[in-house]
Structure 1
Amino acid sequence: MRFFSSAFCEPCMTTRSILAEAARLVPAARIHELDVARHTDEAEAAGIRSTPTVVVLDDSQREVFRAEGAPTLQQVLVALAKAV
């Protein structure tokens, strides 16, 4: 799972705590946070238009979920189940 964030983004703080809870519930979940200011090439390649954006990929790197804005815990858990 890739979490695109920015330093002064309040919804990013909410998303960070939601993803931490998801990782606690699903220990196999791997969350990679990328600050869009530092990782501009990756953000551009992923089509990131706003932060926070969460992208969940399956094992073959196919996108199975994208949330622009803070997702709910339930959305993240369903996305992780789809990625398996």
Structure 2
Amino acid sequence: MNPQKQQQDPTGEGVSAQQLTEDQAAAVTAWSQAQDKAEQGRRLVDEAASESRAAVTALSGLGMTQKQIAALLGITQGRVSQLIVRTPRKD
């Protein structure tokens, strides 16, 4: 959030950027940057999960058993089963 925009406190009283001290404005900027990093982290976690599923699914599609994949990746067979993306069979 841009510290230049009007901020609202929980009581509903507006606080403008002109009313903030330099230290308060810096704290608002730090909070905004932390929120941006948290959002970036969430996106990276989603991306990593998708890539993990794709990799495990690829290994399975290449003929490896769940037990082999688990041993190779250092995860449990149950986790491998969870990660494999199920695709409908073509009859």
Bigger relative contact order (CA 8 A; separation at least 6):
1
Fold shared per TM-score above 0.5:
no
TM-score per shorter chain, which class? Answer: under 0.3
Q: Please give the TM-score of this superposition, normalised by the length of structure 2.
A: 0.24
Structure with the larger helix share: 2
Report which of the two has the higher share of strand: 1
